[in-house]
């Protein structure tokens, strides 16, 4: 059977087509089906292009022409006058993709588009604490990546890393994707134990300062690397580590600080940077809750390993390593996914090695001999010249993402500035409308030299409020307002720590951590929460307080 796909034909329809147009040339995009039909698109005599008009390569026809993907027809072979030419595979791919992308846009509008404008109905519409926000661009990107079928991280991954580096406003930042924020934390901590850091490496039994309140995978990589977490209490209202307690918790075994910007509120970077400089400590920022937050330093600080920080920077770029999560609840999503970023080339190569099975080679997928010495290395007890692609300098993992995840991430990054602005606006609205309830709640706050990128809005029920957190959150949940605690609360009260066989230390008491565990909750501020939802949340909190306070 003759192939038609990719052929341009001169045709002679006996009468105008259904849209009243006389068609002279068409592009076939299928072969003949069982009914004898060939799918084709009209060719338009114009050099103008838009989302519906795809330019043919120069000299394809003796005149400027475009494929009009709005005008699709069924062609029978007896309408063909003659075959003009066959377009290149690249051109055919471009046309077919644009046709598919247009249909994806139609699908999005039909199935998902109405959800954006769906009317909020009290006690019917659920107000989630978080959720993914997307449009046709994420869907187009993921299909585009699927059509190429490269599957493992490739051009979209590279584009994502470059775009995230640009968003962080730091060209020196090198971004490496991982399959989750938890994996990103694991890479960050494990990197500090690498032999490639020489005397600066963390060794078994070294201590790492961290907060007792937070998410478990900020802490577990410390333990998994045979290091000792030293738990310090937090400050109420910011829910970040209390910087005034850190210095007294430092011993000769202390080598690093690893803490998060809780719920998108930057921790006191000025104070902590000064401590890290004074004591020669590594600093890792768990930035999973705070992508887009900013902080302004009053002074310049020189940290170990040549790291210098000053001025106004995005969170995640002050420390030696920053980490992000792209789980659907976070500021942007890939479904699953995460990233580490650093301005230190040595740390970047170490984390790349750890992420990619522990191998010493840093060639990108599909590339060979980037170092120019592939068969000239002499490492370990291997034969001289052993293939560098199969030399392993670390006990690594496979923590890579897929190309489809990166494709979604690229579209999400384009929306990130608007997402952050929406979160700030919602957070400020809640704060303004609930500030007269401070007799009942500790309201959240942030340092005056910081600009948060809120993940949620936290409230701590005061001891004499007249009601408990459980009573209030149960009331809110019954009214379809989702609530969450500050993650694990006091990690030391969790079964994994009670039953765990590992070493840790506690500095002082954890009074505020326990208060948060017992009395703190938070509600969402993500961009899917509109003004009507905010007002409903505010009114329900006020209603409960008036009835029970």
Collapsing DSSP to helix, strand or coil, 195 comes out as helix
Contact (Cβ atoms closer than 8 angstroms) between residue 302 and residue 320? no
Phi, psi of 342 (to 5 degrees): -155, 155
Compute the Cα dihedral for 414, 417, 418, 422 and give only its sign: positive
Contact (Cβ atoms closer than 8 angstroms) between residue 267 and residue 259? yes
pLDDT at 115 over 80: no
Tell me the average pLDDT across 182-198. 98
Tell me the average pLDDT across 300-324. 98
pLDDT at 160 over 60: yes
Predicted local distance difference test score (pLDDT) of residue 193: 99
Catalytic site residue 330?
A: yes
Q: What is the average pLDDT score of the chain?
A: 94
Model confidence at 21, pLDDT cuts 50, 70, 90, reads low
403-439: burial string, b at 16+ Cβ within 10 Å, e else: bbbbbbbbbbbebbeebbebbbebbebbeebbeebee
**Element containing residue 178 per DSSP (H, E):** strand 174-178
Model confidence at 548, pLDDT cuts 50, 70, 90, reads very high
Contacts 24+ apart (CB under 8 A), 61-64: 61/8, 61/25, 61/85
**E strands in 419-489:** 441-442, 450-451, 456-461
Q: What's the rounded Cα separation, in Å, for the pair 420 and 287?
A: 14
Assign domain 7-96 to a CATH class.
mainly beta
Model confidence at 173, pLDDT cuts 50, 70, 90, reads very high
Q: What's the rounded Cα separation, in Å, for the pair 160 and 67?
A: 31
Q: Tokens 């991982």 correspond to what residue?
A: 178
Q: What's the rounded Cα separation, in Å, for the pair 157 and 178?
A: 10
The single-letter DSSP state of residue 361 is -
Lowest mean pLDDT among 100-114, 294-308, 466-480: 100-114
Predicted local distance difference test score (pLDDT) of residue 384: 95
Predicted local distance difference test score (pLDDT) of residue 25: 92
Predicted local distance difference test score (pLDDT) of residue 17: 53
Tell me the average pLDDT across 103-109. 94
Compute the Cα dihedral for 324, 327, 328, 334 and give only its sign: positive
CA separation (Å) from 447 to 259, 296, 452? 16, 10, 9
| Most distant pair of Cα atoms in the chain: their distance | 91
Cα 298–Cα 317–Cα 133 angle in degrees, nearest 5: 120
pLDDT at 16 over 60: no
Predicted local distance difference test score (pLDDT) of residue 486: 96
pTM of the model: 0.94
139-359+396-403, what's its fold?
Answer: 3.40.640
Phi, psi of 47 (to 5 degrees): -100, -5
Q: What's the rounded Cα separation, in Å, for the pair 454 and 289?
A: 7
Model confidence at 59, pLDDT cuts 50, 70, 90, reads confident
Q: Does domain 416-548 have CATH number 3.90.1150.10?
A: yes
Asked whether this chain's domains 139-359+396-403 and 416-548 adopt the same fold, the reply is: no
Total Cβ atoms within 10 A of residue 50: 7
In SS3 terms, 90-152 reads as HHHHHHHHHHHHHHHHHHHHHHHHHHHCCCCCCCCCCECCCCCCCCHHHHHHHHHHHHHCCCE
**Element containing residue 521 per DSSP (H, E):** strand 520-524
Lowest mean pLDDT among 85-94, 325-334, 360-369, 408-417: 360-369
Tell me the average pLDDT across 80-97. 92
Q: If we measure between CA atoms, which residue out of 5, 59, 13 comes closest to residue 33?
A: 5
Tell me the average pLDDT across 70-80. 90
Predicted local distance difference test score (pLDDT) of residue 46: 82
pLDDT at 20 over 60: no
Of 4, 320, 330, 331, the catalytic one is: 330
**Element containing residue 85 per DSSP (H, E):** strand 80-86
- Structure-block tokens of residue 394: 């670390």
Q: What's the rounded Cα separation, in Å, for the pair 431 and 76?
A: 67
pLDDT at 14 over 70: no
Model confidence at 432, pLDDT cuts 50, 70, 90, reads very high
* Percent of the chain whose predicted confidence (pLDDT) is above 90: 86
Ordered by start, the domain boundaries in the chain are 7-96, 139-359+396-403, 360-392, 416-548
Q: What's the rounded Cα separation, in Å, for the pair 541 and 543?
A: 5
Predicted local distance difference test score (pLDDT) of residue 104: 96
Total Cβ atoms within 10 A of residue 45: 11
pLDDT at 140 over 70: yes
Total Cβ atoms within 10 A of residue 146: 14
Q: If we measure between CA atoms, which residue out of 179, 188, 243, 175 comes closest to residue 211?
A: 243
pLDDT at 51 over 90: no
Predicted local distance difference test score (pLDDT) of residue 209: 99
Predicted local distance difference test score (pLDDT) of residue 367: 85
pLDDT at 368 over 70: yes
Phi, psi of 273 (to 5 degrees): -65, -40
Tell me the average pLDDT across 236-242. 97
Predicted local distance difference test score (pLDDT) of residue 318: 98
- Structure-block tokens of residue 125: 């519409």
pLDDT at 15 over 80: no
Tell me the average pLDDT across 449-455. 98
């Amino acid at each position: 059977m003759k192939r038609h796909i990719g052929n341009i034909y001169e045709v002679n329809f006996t009468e105008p087509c259904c849209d009243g147009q006389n068609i002279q040339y068409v592009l076939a995009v299928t072969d003949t089906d069982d009914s004898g039909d060939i799918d084709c698109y009209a060719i338009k005599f114009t050099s103008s292009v838009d989302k519906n008009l795809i330019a043919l390569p120069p000299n394809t026809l003796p005149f400027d022409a475009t494929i009009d993907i709005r005008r699709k027809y069924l062609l029978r072979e007896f309408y063909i006058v003659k075959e003009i030419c066959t377009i290149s595979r690249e051109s055919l791919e471009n046309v077919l993709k644009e046709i598919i992308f247009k249909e994806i846009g139609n699908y999005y509008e039909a199935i998902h588009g109405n959800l954006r404008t769906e009317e909020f109905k009290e006690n019917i519409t659920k107000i989630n604490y978080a959720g993914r926000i997307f449009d046709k661009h994420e869907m187009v990107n993921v299909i585009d990546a699927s059509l190429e079928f490269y599957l493992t991280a490739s051009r979209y991954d590279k584009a994502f890393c470059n775009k995230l580096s640009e968003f962080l406003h730091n060209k020196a930042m090198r971004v490496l994707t991982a399959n989750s924020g938890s994996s990103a934390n694991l890479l960050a901590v494990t990197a500090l134990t690498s032999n490639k850091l020489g005397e600066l490496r963390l060794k078994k039994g070294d201590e790492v300062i961290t907060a007792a309140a937070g998410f478990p995978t900020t802490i577990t990589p410390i333990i998994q690397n045979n290091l000792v977490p030293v738990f310090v209490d937090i400050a109420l209202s910011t829910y970040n580590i209390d910087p005034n307690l850190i210095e007294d918790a430092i011993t000769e075994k202390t080598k690093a600080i690893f803490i998060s910007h809780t719920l998108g509120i930057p921790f006191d970077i000025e104070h902590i940077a000064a401590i890290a400089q004074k004591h020669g400590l590594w600093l890792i920022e768990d930035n999973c809750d705070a992508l887009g937050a900013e902080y302004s330093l009053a002074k310049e600080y020189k940290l170990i390993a040549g790291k210098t920080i000053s001025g106004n920077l995005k969170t995640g770029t002050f420390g030696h390593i920053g980490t992000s999560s792209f789980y659907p609840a976070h500021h942007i999503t890939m479904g699953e996914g995460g990233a580490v970023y650093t301005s230190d080339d040595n740390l970047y190569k170490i984390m790349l090695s750890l992420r990619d099975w522990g191998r010493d080679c840093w060639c990108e997928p599909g590339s060979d001999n980037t170092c120019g010495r592939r068969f000239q290395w002499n490492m370990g007890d291997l034969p001289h010249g052993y293939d560098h692609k199969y030399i392993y300098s670390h006990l690594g993992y496979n923590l890579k993402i897929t190309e489809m995840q990166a494709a979604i991430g690229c579209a999400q990054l384009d929306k990130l500035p608007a997402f952050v602005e929406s979160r700030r606006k919602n957070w400020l609205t809640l704060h303004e409308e609930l500030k007269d309830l401070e007799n009942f709640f500790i309201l959240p706050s942030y340092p005056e030299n910081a600009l948060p990128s809120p993940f949620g809005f936290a409230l701590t029920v005061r001891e004499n409020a007249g009601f408990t957190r459980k009573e209030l959150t149960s009331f809110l949940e019954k009214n379809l307002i989702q609530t969450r605690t500050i993650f694990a609360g006091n990690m030391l009260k969790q079964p994994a720590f009670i039953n765990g066989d590992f070493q840790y230390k506690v500095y002082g008491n954890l009074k505020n951590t326990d208060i948060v565990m017992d009395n703190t909750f938070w509600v969402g501020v993500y961009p899917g929460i509109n003004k009507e939802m905010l007002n409903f949340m505010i009114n329900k909190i006020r209603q409960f307080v008036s009835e029970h306070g």
